[in-house]
């Protein structure tokens, strides 16, 4: 079974703080993704990575950065948190390439920015 863990289930931060969300997977998957999920907007891709030290912008990268120093770990960084970044953040992983790339999700981090 793929196991994807995220550092916190719930997080409360203040406006302007630097926030780190961490995702760790134990299945040696090459691909890792960060999404945010908001009511009525569905899942939106923030950043993804196909390999160590590699990153690609998703659909809504503004205000975020990422780091992938090791294959199993993918961090999402909010450089200066704002209230509009209050959301559910989901990490996902998938293996290899080709058409049958199924994504497996972590439990999510519900972030509230005050």
Partner 1 sequence: QKEVEQNSGPLSVPEGAIASLNCTYSDRVSQSFFWYRQYSGKSPELIMSIYSNGDKEDGRFTAQLNKASQYVSLLIRDSQPSDSATYLCAVKGPSSASKIIFGSGTRLSIRP
Residues that bind partner 1 (CB under 8 A): 40-43, 45, 48, 58, 90, 97-108
**Shortest distance, position 53 Cβ to partner 1, whole Å:** 18
**Shortest distance, position 64 Cβ to partner 1, whole Å:** 16
Residue closer to partner 1, measured from CB, 3 or 18: 3
CA separation, residue 32 to residues 10, 44, 75, 97, 105 (Å): 21, 14, 10, 12, 10
Residue closer to partner 1, measured from CB, 45 or 77: 45
Residue closer to partner 1, measured from CB, 82 or 108: 108
Spatial CB neighbours of 76, under 8 Å, sequence gap ≥ 6: 20, 21, 22, 23, 34, 46, 47, 64, 65, 66, 89, 91
**Shortest distance, position 16 Cβ to partner 1, whole Å:** 28
**Shortest distance, position 46 Cβ to partner 1, whole Å:** 12
Task: Give dist(CA 34, CA 13) in Å, integer.
Answer: 19
């Amino acid at each position: 079974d793929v196991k994807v863990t995220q550092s916190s289930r719930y997080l409360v931060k203040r406006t302007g703080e630097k926030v780190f969300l961490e995702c760790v997977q134990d299945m040696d998957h090459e691909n890792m993704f960060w999404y945010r999920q908001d009511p009525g907007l569905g899942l939106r891709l923030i950043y993804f990575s196909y390999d160590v030290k590699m990153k690609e912008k998703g659909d809504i990268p503004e205000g975020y950065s990422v780091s992938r120093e090791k294959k199993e770990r993918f961090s999402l960084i909010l450089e200066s948190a704002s209230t509009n970044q209050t959301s559910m953040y989901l990490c996902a992983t998938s293996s290899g390439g080709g058409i049958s790339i199924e994504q497996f999700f972590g439990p999510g981090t519900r972030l509230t920015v005050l």
